[in-house]
Amino acid sequence: MMSDLLFPDIQPRRSGRLAVDDVHTLYWEECGNPDGVPVLFLHGGPGGGISPMHRRFFDPAYYRIVLFDQRGAGQSTPLGEYCNNTTAHLIADIEVLRQMLEVEQWLVFGGSWGSTLALAYGEAHPKVCLGFILRGIFLCTAAEVDWFVNGIGYFYPEVHAEFAAYIPAPERSNLLEAYSQRLFNADPDVYLPAARSWSRYEGSCLFLEPQSSAIAQFETDAVCMSLGRLEAHYMRYGAFMDEDQLVQNVGKIRHLPAVIIQGRYDVICPPKSAYRLHQAWPESTLHIIPDAGHAAMEPGIATALIKATEEFKLQGRFS
């Protein structure tokens, strides 16, 4: 069972809400050893949110585990809010959280969009990072955005056809813009069905073998409202970064240890991005998982993530 691959279920030692501006309030939680090596978990999406399973990639006897829901996601409020929501805002939020928790340095762990944010944060604040564990690399380049919106259809033609069919035929030449016009409408009768269609599209492609439970979860209002809106928002604006900024600036963090874990058959974030990052960062370690898609809960990926957190611990990379 998937659960057997992870550390035992744990509850937060403490949690809270952090107002970061007049619009957004973040939910955060801390688990594990209060005197342990701090590790920051960055969830995917944008808009994906954290779950109890995410606490379980880390040995709670060794790590001080910090998780939070990014702006507009999970238990942070308002749900799905894209106002005052950019990569720069999220980076600033992480620093506010770090300082509030009195963390000097931490290991940064992120998958999918979480890998994007981990790299952006590390390049902005390399001195507070101990290292990186990154999964399912997404650099938010124009090519990757186009792949997500259109290219997935080469592997999941029926899923993409359903995604496109939601949009009237005259608008299908630019699906991202057509979805955006609906997702950013103020009327929930307009944006919620569009968000559900967007989320169903992604959820159908997460695993090497599609799982109905994952698709159903992605279709819930709580998930689709934040995921659909915020993914389109960030993709529409290239994550508010210069094109290929994360690779261009990788020299700022090349001195830090990093493990990159990538599913061979990840159609959401294809392996080329992980390979490009590794080529620019040859000191990193790249693991291509031969029997996995995108999801962190693919058995091969989960096993590799656990191995990475254990190797960081056992090698004493933080002393």
Q: What is the pLDDT along the chain (319 residues), one digit of tens a residue?
A: 666 889 999 999 999 999 999 999 999 999 999 999 999 999 999 999 999 999 999 999 999 999 999 999 999 999 999 999 999 999 999 999 999 999 999 999 999 999 999 999 999 999 999 999 999 999 999 999 999 999 999 999 999 999 999 999 999 999 999 999 999 999 999 999 999 999 999 999 999 998 899 899 999 998 999 999 999 999 999 999 999 999 999 999 999 999 999 999 999 999 999 999 999 999 999 999 999 999 999 999 999 999 999 999 987 654 4
Q: Please report the pLDDT score of residue 4 as a whole number.
A: 82
Task: Verify whether residue 284 is a known catalytic residue.
Answer: no
At position 182, the amino acid (one-letter code) is R
pLDDT at 32: 98
Q: What is the pLDDT of residue 210?
A: 86
Among 266, 273, 278, 287, the active-site one is: 266
Q: Global pTM?
A: 0.97
Q: Are the CB atoms for 149 and 175 separated by under 8 Å?
A: yes
Q: List, for residues 220-261, the tens digit of each pLDDT value.
A: 998 999 999 999 999 999 999 999 999 999 999 999 999 999
Hey, what domains does the chain have and what are their CATH numbers? Answer: 2-140+240-314 (3.40.50.1820), 143-239 (no CATH)
Catalytic residue flag (residue 266) = yes
Per-residue pLDDT, 61: 97
For residue 194 the two structure tokens come to: 């569009």
Annotation marks residue 255 as catalytic: no
SS (H, E, C) the chain: CHHHHCCCCCCCCEEEEEECCCCCEEEEEEEECCCCEEEEEECCCCCCCCCHHHHHHCCCCCEEEEEECCCCCCCCECCCCCCCCCHHHHHHHHHHHHHHCCCCCEEEEEECHHHHHHHHHHHHCHHHEEEEEEECCCCCCHHHHHHHHCHHHHCCHHHHHHHHHCCCHHHHHHHHHHHHHHHCCCCHHHHHHHHHHHHHHHHCCCCCCCCHHHHHHHHCHHHHHHHHHHHHHHHHCHHHCCCCHHHHCHHHCCCCCEEEEEECCCCCCCHHHHHHHHHHCCCCEEEEECCCCCCCCCHHHHHHHHHHHHHHHHCCCCC
pLDDT of residue 316: 61
Q: Which residues pair with 260 in a beta bridge?
A: 134, 286
Q: Which amino acid is at 96?
A: V
- Of the listed 76, 112, 226, 273, which one is catalytic? 112
For residue 319, the model assigns a pLDDT of: 40
Name 266's Cβ contacts closer than 8 Å, sequence gap at least 6: 136, 292, 293, 294
